[in-house]
Structure 1
Amino acid sequence: MTTVAVRRQAQRRRSPLVGYLLRRIGTSLLLLVGVTIVTFALTNLVPGDPVSAALGEGASQNPETRAAFIKAQGLDQPLFVQYFIYMGNLLRGDLGTSLVTGRPVTSDLATAVPATIEIAIGAIILSLAVSVVLGTLAAYRRGLVTDQVIRIVTLIGLSVPTFWLALVSFYVFFLELRIAPGSGRISPSITPPPRITGLYTVDYLLNGDGVGFADALAHLALPVMVLSLVTIGLLTRFIRTSVLEVLGSDYVRAARAKGLPAMRVILDYVLRGASLPILTVVGVAFGSLLSGTVLVESVFAWPGLGTYAYNSAANLDLPGIMGVGLVVGFIYLLINFVVDLLYGVLDPRVRIA
């Protein structure tokens, strides 16, 4: 076989995954444009006067000051013109200036997003590790006491309000027992690390600061625990259902009939077969953690995306609101893209179809 033929054959083998990847990228780009349209439209439909919110009641009553602000912000243009101005600025990486902080929205988000990512990653890792064990155990012990106990515990975890759990955890572990640090990302006596990734634990490690890393990790403990308890309940119940479906498959029965060790059957056959639906739920849960931490961040004074979104909405900060909406939409699109990509890698039927 010639070299050209070998290359063509290799390209044909790679083409299904490459084509699948290109289709997902194109779809994601179209959806991202749709996110900008929806975010812009909903933001401009919010009731209230952004001029009064930005300038205050006193300054907004001055006609000259009001007119100058409206012209500077482009609020005197039709909505479709404002949208194209917004898209032009967006393509240049300019999300505008926050009416609350007075800083560029990109700078505010560059600080807030890593803070939320840090607790979301910790929560999803802990949740997945615990849920895989509990869900698999419940499936193998279906109908027995172990299964019933795990189902009751997960139901309680899903039923408890997150904000209540955050308040109770803060009161018990910080105010009463004094075994957890207070609010914020680090203690007041600790100097923030030089910015590399924005994730304090990672930045402290990269700078070789063990004391700072330990303090940042301690401050992560309570928010991560609160977010994990709810997510564990969701993932455990879903993993149990997925594992139960796989346990009845012919290839699992064949593996057991061969006398393979139980642990190998679980890891190589059961969990691998149940990985695709589990992956979908993990992606959705991770997206929810990144975009739905407002109450938890408020309780623990965590300067993340949820806190920034609340402050922007409360003060009618339109650039800030649109920036948050765009980031949340991009996060969900990115997570869905990664999940779809992993689908194509794990299951050849997906990329061929």
Structure 2
Amino acid sequence: MKQGKKLLEESIRMLLLLIAVSIVAFLLITKAPIDPLVSYIGTNSTLSEEAKAEIVKEWGLKDPLPQRFFIWVKHAVRGDLGRSITYKKSVSTVIRTKFSYSILLMMLAWLFSGVLGFVIGIFCGMRQGGILDKLIKTFCLLIKSAPVFWIGLLALTVFAVWLGWFPIGMAVPTGKLASDVTVGDRIRHLVLPVFTLTLVSISEVVLYTRQKVIEIRNSDFILYARARGENNRQLVRRHILRNVALPAITVQFASFNELFGGMALAETVFAYPGIGTAATAAATNADVPLLLGIAVCSAIFVFVGNLIANLLYGVFDPRIREGEQRG
């Protein structure tokens, strides 16, 4: 009953969020100093003024903003997000195609950052104050404050330009037929973007897990377990893992928004043809339909991640369940 009520409340929140995101995105995009007509036909177009006026009328660029917004909402509710000016395709098709690339990139980075961050966090927490703990903590703090594009450029320069281990960018080799592209080719092109996103996302998990392990190590039941003669390996296996795993998972789900934002920058650096690159191209060309579609879809994606995190907190944290029951 409680979970059903919570889902209803979260669904209402998501609806309100989508409305707010749509309005704000529409206002920001339409007020941008880039003329979508010029982006579409080019600065050296030979189209007559009559033809230009016809395009403006067809797109409704001279209509009042509220009218244009409600027309877009009416079509979006039916599943029609409009036609992309940049890609000359429907927005739904562009998002579906681009997201198929991005979802693989994000999920791999999310998985690696979660698993490696969790393991490293436990290691640091069990060796608090040691040399490795201090080095890893300092490294995580530096990475946490570094811009994503800077880390991506650094990885690109070192591993692709200097060492030549990996390709400079794209998702597949240039000039190669799609039928000739192998799984190995795709993996090699994925390595640097995944590495960059993993590096950006891992610090949060490491620092959070480390702190939780330190708190648990200082608790009374751990002191009692030590008094019974349990060593560090037994402490981790019997007590620390089960007390740290679920909070770390919820933090990882809640990091979807940061991962999504970092993905857009990483894809731009590596010219990876995902949703982030599409957003950059749409912004450059004042592609209002595509930008609105990406804004709404990204809001849904981030909200779902936060919703899963909130539900996990409610299911596994007794203090939250008790608070809900009192309420």
Whether TM-score is above 0.5 comes out as yes
**Aligned-partner residue type, residue 284 of structure 2:** A
**Which residue matches 2:6?**
20
Shift of 1:267: 4.7
Residue of 310, 313, 318 corresponding to 1:343: 313
Number of corresponding residues: 322
- Does the 8 Å contact 1:98/1:105 carry over to 2? yes
- Does the 8 Å contact 1:154/1:233 carry over to 2? yes
- Does the 8 Å contact 2:166/2:188 carry over to 1? yes
Residue of 287, 308, 318 corresponding to 2:257: 287
Q: Does 1:191 find its partner at 2:175?
A: no
**Which residue matches 1:214?**
184
Residue of 48, 59, 69 corresponding to 1:83: 69
Greater Cα shift, 257-266 or 127-136:
257-266
Distance 1:249 1:62, change over 3 A: farther
* Structure 2 residue ranges without an equivalent (≥5): none
**What is the TM-score normalised by the length of structure 2?**
0.86
Q: Does 1:319 find its partner at 2:289?
A: yes
1:304-331 per-residue CA deviation (whole Å, 9 max, x = no partner) reads 1111111111111111211221122111
Distance 1:56 1:185, change over 3 A: closer
Q: Does 1:163 find its partner at 2:149?
A: yes
Q: Does 1:35 find its partner at 2:5?
A: no
1:168-203 per-residue CA deviation (whole Å, 9 max, x = no partner) reads 33333334433324522233546369xxxxxxxxxx
- Does the 8 Å contact 1:184/1:300 carry over to 2? yes
Q: What does 1:241-256 align with in structure 2 at a 5 Å threshold? A: 241-256=211-226
Distance 1:251 1:133, change over 3 A: same
**Which residue matches 2:51?**
65
Distance 1:251 1:319, change over 3 A: same
Greater Cα shift, 333-342 or 39-48:
39-48
- Does the 8 Å contact 1:17/1:351 carry over to 2? no
- Does the 8 Å contact 2:251/2:309 carry over to 1? no
1:317-351 per-residue CA deviation (whole Å, 9 max, x = no partner) reads 11121122112211111111111222222235435
| RMSD, aligned α-carbons | 2.7
User: What is the distance in 2 between the residues matched to 1:60 and 1:280?
Assistant: 56
Distance 1:271 1:56, change over 3 A: same
User: What is the distance in 1 between the residues matched to 2:163 and 2:131?
Assistant: 33
Q: What does 1:263-282 align with in structure 2 at a 5 Å threshold? A: 263=233, 265-267=235-237, 269-275=239-245, 277-282=247-252
Shift of 1:102: 1.0
- Does the 8 Å contact 1:117/1:290 carry over to 2? no
Percent identity among equivalent residues? Answer: 33
Greater Cα shift, 226-235 or 247-256:
247-256
1:223-281 per-residue CA deviation (whole Å, 9 max, x = no partner) reads 11122122222321222122222333344444545555644543553343345653453
**Aligned-partner residue type, residue 171 of structure 1:** T
Distance 1:168 1:27, change over 3 A: closer
- Does the 8 Å contact 2:25/2:295 carry over to 1? yes
**Which residue matches 1:202?**
none
Q: What does 1:69-218 align with in structure 2 at a 5 Å threshold? A: 69-188=55-174, 189=176, 191=178, 212-218=182-188
Shift of 1:116: 1.5
Distance 1:168 1:106, change over 3 A: same
Greater Cα shift, 291-300 or 122-131:
291-300
User: What is the distance in 2 between the residues matched to 1:298 and 1:17?
Assistant: 40
User: What is the distance in 2 between the residues matched to 1:268 and 1:344?
Assistant: 23
**Which residue matches 2:38?**
52
SS of the residue 1:119 aligns to: helix
User: What is the distance in 1 between the residues matched to 2:7 and 2:238?
Assistant: 27
SS of the residue 1:57 aligns to: coil
SS of the residue 1:292 aligns to: helix
- Does the 8 Å contact 2:81/2:293 carry over to 1? yes
